[in-house]
Amino acid sequence: MNGDVLKAISAGVFSAITLSVLVFLDSLGNYGIWLMAPFGATAVLVFGVPSSPLAKAKNVIGGHFLTALIGVVFVNYIGVDTVSIAMATGLAISMMMLTNTVHPAAGANPILIMVTGQSWPFLIAPVLVGTIFIVLCGYLSQRLLKGYLFRHKKTA
């Protein structure tokens, strides 16, 4: 099988498995929130372009946590309106750039958090637990894919 095709299929399969686990945990209801929409875009980076700097663990986890923190701070201390949502999102982008934790999917967090009125526990689940889980699954998928490609390399 062509390496690019295998990588594309692997990215889709591992994204689906990873997000399925988060969807299942979220559906249990009594154990907190496990899923948020930006995780779909995170999966594209982590599983689809894992060598991208934007898919590094510090960017995924740090970017999501930082931007979510900004969203929760705005909800609790500044308020939610058109201007504050825009300000929080702009601040989140600037802070990711200043801390070298840029992760595009995390840019949606202040909007999501402010529009839905999330509070402090949201930083733990889904943000922190979910991003760590996605990163670990991404690492596992790359190890498995590299092992498979190494075993099936054609000798010239």
φ and ψ of 33, to 5 deg: -95, 130
Among 96, 90, 94, which Cα is nearest to 114's? 90
**CA distance readout (Å), 108 to 24, 65, 143:** 23, 12, 29
pTM of the predicted structure, to 2 decimals: 0.93
Residuewise pLDDT in 10s, the chain (156 residues): 688 999 999 999 999 999 999 999 999 987 778 999 999 999 999 999 999 999 999 999 999 999 999 999 999 999 999 999 999 999 999 999 999 999 999 999 999 999 999 999 999 999 999 999 999 999 999 999 888 766 777 544
